[in-house]
Amino acid sequence: MNKLHWKIGSILGLLILSVWLLYPTVDWYTKTPDERAKLEAVRLRPKGILNLGLDLRGGTHLLLELDVAKLEKKEKVYDAVTRAIEIIRNRIDQYGVGETPISRQGERWIAVDLPGISNTEEAENLIGKTALLEFRLVNNSTEAQAVVSKAESMDASPLNKDGTPIPEIAKLLPKGTVLAKATAGQDNDRTRYYVLDDTVPVTGAYLENARVETDRQFGTPSIGFTFNKEGGRRFEEFTGANVGKYLAIVLDGVVHSAPVIKSRIGGGSGVIEGSFSMEEARDLAIILRAGSLPAPVNIIEKRVVGPGLGEDSIKKGLMASLAGFLLVVLFMAVYYKGGGLIADVALFLNFVFLIAAMGYFNATLTLPGIAGMILSLAMAIDANVLILERMREEMALSKPVAMIIPTGYDKAWSAILDSNVTTWIAAIFLFQFGSGPVKGFAVTLTIGLLIGMFTSVFVTRAIYEFWLTSNPKELSI
């Protein structure tokens, strides 16, 4: 009897825990779209909720290609793509879009889904920036000033698309220098250019933190940064050796500011000033904190899924799932009578436990994920059918009820285990070799199978054992 109490207590405890885990998800999705948008804008999207994927919520899908030609020679393509995926994930997580599906596609491609973001320009700026931060000295020699004058007087750009100077400018550049464009807004009348030393003594690789700061007098945003110990030492030595010279702060080949070095800069910190809006400063700080990509990424495919399509998918998916669920419940209750009702209770608990588990792990629900969920529920009801049919066989032998139930479970167990293990093996291969939605399907199916075995065998048997305490004479199956 104590063992039965422990079983019933465990089931009730899991049910209470599941309801508690489900509350944030239910509370979030019962809010109006405007209420959710306001909370997301200030980064108040709750943790521990079930996220909706791109096909259900709408948003932006991007396929990125890593420019492997610009990788360092010592870095392998596979490792570079892996590092790029982690950096992109960090940028998106800090932006506030949690659990974003990011996956490797082939040798050098990366697929990114951004549920809820339909502003493709915003997404591209966040993901696509290489974010290579460099500190270079400005060359103010007579030759360099002549190059700047020539570049700023030209009608066309003195730089090629890849950032290299055109031949007319290249032959005028002093040895060991490069030409760089300044950010828009530094000069209202013309585009400004700088001639910089090609040596880079300090880069963003030494950054420990980056944050948005505002000017106390004018309220203009800037980006404060802090180096790690090694970076702070290098920066202090570099500025101490070049007092009186101009230091260009360069991000992705563009000069954002070029202040004069008035004295040795210690403390390992500084500020990047420029004509930033608050949004631009915030995004740039996120990118710098997450780190620079190993090489530029090019967006080769861009697709926007409207929220209307997502809502339509949700409605159709819910209607199909509900209709199938009700038909199965009705069939089990009619065909297997009391045993079918117990199986229906287990099926309902299976669904609740599965949704709660996915919410706890912040899983992203997609249409393939819903398919995996439905398949796992089907496997669970199949296990109940095997148990009930074995019970019918034992009942046909006129055995007492107290023997029919344990014997039915014992005889059905091997078949239940075999069917679930073979499906698990298929799910493991799908997860290992699949990508994106296929992996989502495999994860949902795996979790569903585990929960399905628990509810089909443990929960239903506990209910039968509790029913047996009333000394029944007949079994309704």
Q: At what angle do helices 460-468 and 2-29 cross, to 10 degrees?
A: 130
CATH topology of domain 2-31+306-468: Multidrug efflux transporter AcrB transmembrane fold (1.20.1640)
Place of tokens 């422990």: 6
Instruction: Give the confidence band of 388 by pLDDT, cuts at 50, 70, 90.
Output: very high
Q: What's the average model confidence in pLDDT over 389-393? A: 92
Euclidean distance between CA atoms 149 and 143, whole angstroms: 10
Structure tokens at 186: 């530094």
Residue 213 · residue 224 · CB < 8 Å: yes
List, by residue range, all CATH 3.30.1360.200 domains of the chain.
133-289
List, by residue range, all CATH 1.20.1640.10 domains of the chain.
2-31+306-468
Query: Looking at domain 133-289, does it have CATH number 3.40.50.300?
Result: no
How would you list the strands of the sheet with 177-182, edge to edge? 193-197, 177-182, 254-257, 247-251, 133-137, 202-203
Residue 148 · residue 251 · CB < 8 Å: no
List, by residue range, all CATH 3.30.70.3400 domains of the chain.
59-130+300-305
* Average pLDDT of the chain, as a whole number: 83
pLDDT digits (tens, 9 = 90+) for 295-342: 778 888 888 776 655 567 667 777 877 888 888 899 999 999 999 999
Q: What's the average model confidence in pLDDT over 344-372? A: 86
pLDDT for 179: 93
pLDDT digits (tens, 9 = 90+) for 159-210: 887 778 999 888 889 999 999 988 765 445 568 899 999 888 888 778 888 8
Handedness of CA 104, 108, 111, 112 (dihedral sign): positive
Say whether pLDDT at 9 is over 80.
yes
Euclidean distance between CA atoms 99 and 92, whole angstroms: 9
Number of helices (H) and strands (E), helices first, in the chain?
Answer: 14, 15
Residue 71: which residues within 8 A CB-CB, separation 6 or more? 77, 80, 294, 295
How would you list the strands of the sheet with 269-272, edge to edge? 207-214, 221-227, 269-272
pLDDT for 436: 63
Euclidean distance between CA atoms 350 and 199, whole angstroms: 62
Q: What's the average model confidence in pLDDT over 450-461? A: 92
Long-range pairs for 17-26: beta carbons < 8 A, 24 or more residues apart? 17/356, 18/352, 18/353, 18/355, 18/356, 19/352, 19/356, 21/48, 21/356, 21/357, 21/359, 21/360, 22/352, 22/355, 22/356, 22/359, 24/48, 24/49, 24/359, 25/49, 25/50, 25/355, 25/359
Supply the DSSP string of 323-376, one letter for each residue.
HHHHHHHHHHHHHHHHHHHHHHHHHHHHHHHHHHHHHHTT-EE-HHHHHHHHHH
Q: Which CATH number fits domain 59-130+300-305: 3.40.50.10490, 3.40.50.300, 2.60.300.12, 3.30.70.3400?
A: 3.30.70.3400
Residue 86: which residues within 8 A CB-CB, separation 6 or more? none
